[in-house]
Amino acid sequence: MSANRELFDHVMVPNYSPSAVIPVRGKGSRVWDQNNNELIDFAGGIAVSCLGHCHPTLVNALKEQGEKIWHLSNVMTNEPALRLAKKLVDNTFAEKVYFANSGAESNEAALKLARRWALDNYGEQKSQIIAFKQGFHGRTFFTVTVGGQAAYSDGFGPKPGDVVHAEYNDLDSLKALISDNTCAVVMEPLQGEGGIVSPTDEFAKGVRELCDQHNALLIYDEVQTGVGRTGELYAYMGLGVTPDILTTAKALGGGFPIGAMLTTTDIAKHLKIGTHGSTYGGNPLACAVAEAAFDTVNDESVLQGVKHREQLLKSGLEKINEKYQVFSQIRGKGLLIGAVLNDNYQGRAKEFLNAAMVQGLMSLVAGANIIRFTPSLVIPEEDIAEGLARFERAVATIVNG
């Protein structure tokens, strides 16, 4: 049997429902499928492929490391992991790094660290974790419980306890829940899966102040916003708020699986030897590719380019909307952009995604009412223009029936 969509149904667990299109080759922000049809990529593997497909710097890093050493257990360290950790520390608030394989694992480590920090410093009663409704923090049972979407965590038996949810962008909602028994508040500095919702400055700063008042740690989940996605290296830098723990993954490896948790020395010391671990965390191949991706993105011209591309994409979407009247709002920051469907098109985001695919454009959704765009941070301007033209044709097919 050939490797087609039908084979998926025969051999794969049915928790996904992938497109019939199977990409086999990519270069930059363009992808070709099994039939050599060309697609423009405005999805980026859900904010992962920050430098597009087969970026030569990343390919070279993978090839070079692939000829050296692939894997070591954490009984030993390795040079790529040490170099990457040093760069993360040198370019952020953090003093210590823990490597994992994904955003969920990075968040799992952050939550376990927060609980252990609180237990060691204050006692067992300080265990409450506050997160926000419509938040998303991964699919392990702990992280999906902390995530504020019950549909993802229901149906698997008893959930981890002492986890509550406040309303995003509502300080009064947080004030009603937080106390001296709160060990951590977990938030995305821009909600991704929950609808591309930016925090107000007042909210971001108010959350930090409430954490300080109650001796609670502030954890920023920057799995989707990190490594240049918002036009800053990390989104916290644009908010004027410094978290105690930060998690990063997705774009960190530019497509190679890797995640990391960043924190201070004083907090990190509570993950003593044996308290947590990961077989593949700090893998030399992953860290070598991530170092190359990090070096490429952590450049002022690239980060400024993200802000320029944001304006091109937003203005293009606004022009489409002036013509077809399908969106109530274009929102987001950097190249994490959401087009919110208006009342006439509620619940139809997937239809727009499918129509775009027919026109040769890869896009995403964030719920039933928002089309999400997370292209490469270095997508050529001509690819933005062509992608928008294809999206406009997709919109036209839906509006005109």
Q: Which of 136, 203, 256, 352 is flagged as catalytic?
A: 136
Q: Kindly state the helix (H) or strand (E) to which residue 184 belongs, with its residue range.
A: strand 182-187
Please tell me the predicted confidence (pLDDT) of residue 248: 98
259 near 248, Cβ under 8 Å? yes
Q: Which amino acid is at 197?
A: V
104 carries a ligand binding annotation: yes
- Give residues with Cβ within 8 angstroms of 40, minimum separation 6: 29, 30, 31, 360, 361, 362, 383, 386, 387, 390
Domains and CATH numbers, the chain: 5-54+300-399 (3.90.1150.10), 57-297 (3.40.640.10)
162 carries a ligand binding annotation: no
Distance CA 367, CA 333 (A): 18
Which residue blocks in 170-226 are alpha helix, DSSP H? 171-175, 201-213
295 near 289, Cβ under 8 Å? no
Residue 280: CB atoms within 10 Å: 17
Q: What's the token pair of residue 41?
A: 């990529």
**Cα angle 71, 76, 77; round to 5:** 80
Please tell me the predicted confidence (pLDDT) of residue 1: 63
Residue whose token pair is 């992962």 = 48
Residue-wise pLDDT tens digits, 57-76: 999 999 999 999 999 999 99
170 carries a ligand binding annotation: no
239 near 200, Cβ under 8 Å? no
Residues of the chain with pLDDT under 50: none
Residue whose token pair is 């454009």 = 361
Paired with 340 in beta bridges are 329, 370
Distance CA 156, CA 168 (A): 26
Report the SS3 class of residue 31.
Answer: strand
224 carries a ligand binding annotation: yes
Distance CA 321, CA 106 (A): 38
222 carries a ligand binding annotation: yes
Residue 250 a catalytic site member: yes
77 carries a ligand binding annotation: no
Side-chain-facing half-sphere of 151: CA atoms under 13 Å: 7
Q: Which of 221, 244, 333, 352 is flagged as catalytic?
A: 221
Q: Which of 126, 203, 250, 327 is flagged as catalytic?
A: 250
- Give residues with Cβ within 8 angstroms of 305, minimum separation 6: 377, 378
Please tell me the predicted confidence (pLDDT) of residue 2: 85
249 carries a ligand binding annotation: no
Distance CA 345, CA 328 (A): 10
136 carries a ligand binding annotation: yes
- CA-based end-to-end distance of the chain: 37
Distance CA 344, CA 353 (A): 17
Q: Which amino acid is at 65?
A: Q
Please tell me the predicted confidence (pLDDT) of residue 401: 82
Please tell me the predicted confidence (pLDDT) of residue 264: 98
289 near 253, Cβ under 8 Å? yes
Q: How far is CA 166 from CA 129, 131, 146, 171, in A?
A: 11, 6, 11, 9
